[in-house]
């Protein structure tokens, strides 16, 4: 462990020696994937994007929509057109103007770029019209309630057309956006460095000359670096380390309940690894779910600090379908289901991203499943590698989560709808698609909730994903760091942060 700490410290010193007094050092739980808003998919990537790429809209700590690159937005009476008024005098990091033409370019890039993971998030956009340099209209094929919420995340990030055209599929190696910090360098598995953009439209809210993001997958090592003063902030303090941070007078703990979930995704129809009992018979997946005690998992691994769940939103969410509550563990039911499916001695492999907390979770799950006669083998992988393997279908089951979105559609559609970009499972049920489409086609809350009630029932029978729990985001901060505002989306907003 000392060696790991030394490596992290060395990377920090090498990256920030030139401006030590005005460098913010943030420890990340993983190394991000590609840093292109159109093709990226990792949570830690979104944390870095928060400093580099402004979005059309943002959310505050209460999940209200607030202006960022767009200052106003208005729906047409038929809910099929959205008009955005843009902030004036905004520049990209390459000096080009951020205007309506750039918004049109970026949204069309999300829709058309090969490998785009944003297409499914905004696919209802059928036309984008530049009204004038600061006004753009989005015309939809059908009413699409989640659109505004999608524009608060990567789908709403606007990139420099000039840079994107010049770099093509290499844009993710050095993104050019309109955020408070511009790209400097990345050393894979070691650091990402960004520096303050002098022409940022809200530069008075930015205090640091540089930010160094350090991927440190071991939670113990991250915390040790924070305690020693080598980093100023860590995202995802382990639940078991919360009291350690609270008792340290030189540190501060911030927390907020996440919008997303952690769970097990099954490979239903993605290549040869889907030729298993897991894929063929939903009773097998139901059996695995029945063998799991979510509350015990929460107590054993997280000291009761997380929230057990069984849906894509937490039981505390106003979008939670109360008609399908968190089930109790039922080992007898699990064995009966396996017997009925003809696989009383089920064996399968679970892909697991590396990390102490992940390891603890899956080991507890492994023990629970053994009591139902299920042999779950574990395959530990570096996080970005595990994502690449999931895309290729190189998994039977995958322990993976989602950081969550303001609108519930953002937690479910992209993972289970028949043609969604992040449906690594390749699961497809037209009935579930029908209810999800109903929910996203209206702004009427009662209609949406009724559709989600039906969608949850279908998902509970098919079990393409076993939802396990919803995390509390714990952040460890140096006692000198001021102005941090935790938001349920888990992102770190740099605006307003300073060292006291």
Architecture of domain 2-51+179-256+473-499: 3-Layer(aba) Sandwich (3.40)
Q: For the chain, what is the total number of helices (H) and then of strands (E)?
A: 17, 21
pLDDT band at 1 (very low <50, low <70, confident <90, very high): very low
C-alpha 252, offset from chain centre: 24
The confidence score (pLDDT) of residue 421 equals 81
**E strands of 100-149, at which residues?**
125-132, 135-140
| Digit-coded pLDDT (tens) for 253-293 | 999 999 999 999 999 999 999 999 999 999 999 999 999 99
Q: For the chain, report the end-to-end CA distance as a whole number of angstroms.
A: 30
Cα distance between residue 197 and residue 332, in whole Å: 61
- pLDDT of 144 strictly over 60: yes
| CATH code of the region 57-163 | 3.90.76.10
Other CB atoms within a 10 A radius of the CB of residue 324 amount to 14
Fold of 261-470: Dipeptide-binding Protein; domain 3 (3.10.105)
Do 317 and 408 form a contact (C-beta atoms < 8 A)? yes
Is residue 14's pLDDT more than 60?
no
% of the chain residues with pLDDT over 70: 96
Question: Span 475-500, mean pLDDT?
Answer: 95
- What's the pLDDT at 25? 98
| 102-117 mean pLDDT | 97
For 145-192, write each residue's pLDDT tens digit: 999 999 999 999 999 999 999 999 999 999 999 999 999 999 999 999
Task: State yes or no: pLDDT of 17 exceeds 60.
Answer: no
* Tens-digit pLDDT profile for residues 406-422: 999 999 999 999 988 89
- Count CA within 13 A, CB hemisphere, residue 134: 11
pLDDT tens digits, one per residue of 351-376: 999 989 999 999 999 999 999 999 99
Q: pLDDT value at position 3?
A: 40
- What value does the mean pLDDT take over residues 97-118? 97
Query: pLDDT at position 27, please?
Result: 98
Are 314 and 257 within 8 A, CB to CB? yes
| Domains in the chain: boundaries | 2-51+179-256+473-499, 57-163, 261-470
Does the pLDDT value for residue 485 go beyond 90?
Answer: yes
pLDDT value, residue 500: 85
Confidence of residue 142 (pLDDT cuts 50, 70, 90): very high
DSSP state of 45: H
In 163-218, which ranges are E strands? 181-187, 191-196, 210-215
Instruction: Say if residues 262 and 468 touch (Cβ distance below 8 Å).
Output: yes
Q: What is the pLDDT of residue 132?
A: 98
Count CB-CB contacts under 10 A for residue 163.
17
Q: For the purposes of burial, counting CB atoms within 10 Å of the CB of 244, is it exposed (0-12), middle (13-18) or buried (19 or more)?
A: middle
* Confidence grade of residue 21 (pLDDT, cut at 50, 70, 90): low
**Given pLDDT bands bounded at 50, 70 and 90, which one contains residue 125?**
very high
- What rounded mean pLDDT belongs to the chain? 94
Q: pLDDT for 215-246, tens place per residue?
A: 999 999 999 999 999 999 999 999 999 999 99
């Amino acid at each position: 462990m000392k060696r790991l700490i030394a490596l992290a410290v060395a990377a920090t010193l090498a990256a920030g020696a030139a401006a030590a007094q005005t460098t913010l050092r943030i420890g990340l739980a993983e190394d991000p994937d590609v840093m292109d808003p159109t093709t990226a998919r990792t949570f830690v990537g979104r944390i870095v994007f928060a400093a580099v790429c402004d979005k059309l809209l943002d959310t505050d700590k209460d999940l209200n929509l607030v202006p960022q690159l767009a200052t106003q937005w208005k729906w047409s009476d038929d809910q099929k057109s959205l008009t955005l008024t843009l902030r004036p005098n905004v520049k990209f990091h390459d000096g080009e103007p951020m205007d309506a033409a750039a918004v049109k370019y970026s949204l069309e890039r999300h829709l058309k770029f090969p490998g785009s993971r944003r297409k499914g998030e905004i696919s209802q956009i059928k036309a984008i019209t530049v009204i004038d340099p600061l006004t753009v209209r989005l015309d939809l094929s059908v009413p699409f309630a989640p659109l505004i919420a999608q524009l608060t995340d990567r789908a709403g990030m606007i990139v420099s057309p000039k840079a994107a055209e010049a770099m093509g599929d290499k844009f993710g190696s050095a993104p050019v956006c309109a955020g408070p910090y511009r790209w400097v360098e990345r050393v894979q598995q070691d650091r990402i460095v960004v520096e303050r953009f002098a022409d940022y439209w809200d530069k008075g809210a930015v205090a640091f000359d540089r930010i160094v993001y350090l991927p440190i997958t071991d939670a113990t090592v991250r915390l040790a670096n924070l305690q020693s003063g080598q980093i100023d902030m860590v995202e995802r303090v382990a639940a078991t380390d919360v009291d350690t941070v609270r008792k340290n007078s030189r540190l501060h703990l911030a927390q907020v309940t996440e919008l997303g979930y952690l769970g097990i995704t099954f490979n239903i129809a993605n290549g040869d690894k889907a030729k298993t009992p897991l894929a063929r018979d939903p009773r097998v997946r139901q059996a695995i779910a029945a063998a799991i005690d979510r509350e015990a998992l929460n107590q054993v691994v997280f000291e009761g600090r997380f929230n057990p769940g069984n849906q894509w939103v937490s039981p505390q969410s106003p979008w939670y379908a109360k008609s399908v509550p968190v089930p109790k563990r039922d080992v007898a039911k699990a064995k009966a289901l396996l017997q009925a499916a003809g696989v009383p001695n089920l064996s399968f492999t679970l892909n697991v991203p590396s990390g102490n907390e992940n390891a603890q979770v899956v080991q507890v799950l492994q023990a629970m499943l053994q009591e139902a006669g299920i042999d779950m083998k574990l395959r530990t992988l570096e996080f970005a590698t595990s994502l690449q393997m999931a895309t290729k279908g190189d998994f039977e089951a995958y322990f993976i989560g989602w950081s969550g979105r303001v609108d519930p559609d953002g937690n479910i559609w992209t993972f289970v709808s028949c043609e969604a970009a992040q449906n690594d499972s390749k699961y497809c049920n037209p009935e579930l698609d029908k209810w999800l489409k109903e929910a996203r086609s209206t702004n009427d809350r009662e209609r949406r909730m009724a559709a989600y009630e039906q969608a949850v029932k279908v998902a509970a029978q098919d079990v393409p994903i076993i939802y396990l729990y919803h995390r509390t985001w714990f952040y460890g901060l140096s006692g000198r760091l001021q102005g941090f505002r935790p938001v349920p989306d888990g992102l770190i907003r740099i605006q307003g942060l300073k060292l006291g």
